[in-house]
Structure 1
Amino acid sequence: MPLYDFVVMVKPAVDRRNLVEFMTRVGQRVYARSGVVTNIKSFGRVNLAYDIKKRDGRFSEAHMMQMTFMVNPQFHQELSYLNKDERLLRWMMTRSRGNAWTKIGKD
């Protein structure tokens, strides 16, 4: 199973409890597909490089979280339900390259 990074930007009005609940649900989906969550990072409230326009306004700040997990490659299709979640500004799932230092040249 490959290693993936899942990054999410959530509206600043969302409280910490809802944010933890959201990340827990994503983690439970990973476990349900025999995956393994390896790391979760919170970057806190960050200023965005540009405003993101949604139906309920423009946002220049967001809560940013990252989850790293190993799961089957078809898992990204299961996350399509996130497009309908009103709490989210953006989300992205990318395949992780791992540790870049291990791939640099041979002596």
Structure 2
Amino acid sequence: MTGRTSFSVLRSRMSPESQAQAHEKSLALKGDMALAELRRAMRLSQEELAAALNINQASVAKMEKRTDMYVGTLRRFIQAMGGELDIIARFPDRSIKIDQFGDR
């Protein structure tokens, strides 16, 4: 492995401040994902998710590219991955869970 350095060695060479910044950024990135990224993080293929949703793979691809969809559609997509969807309204002084869109 000439000319290559492991990530752990590179990280150990970083200043404590840089290590802290990198850690904070990685936490922020883990919290924000597009649907396709989330599906990949859950180690699911579009085909597997399509089978769980009883739709075709092309429909999953379309859903992952959409910027707007019904709450019910998004809920089914998340549930097919084994998750649960909560709608939260965030204000400067509090956060409120909106229960109007629950399963009916």
Q: Scaled by the length of structure 1, what TM-score is found?
A: 0.21
Ranked by relative contact order (alpha carbons within 8 Å, sequence separation 6 or more), the top structure is: 1
- Find the structure with the greater CA-based Rg: 2
Q: Scaled by the length of structure 2, what TM-score is found?
A: 0.22
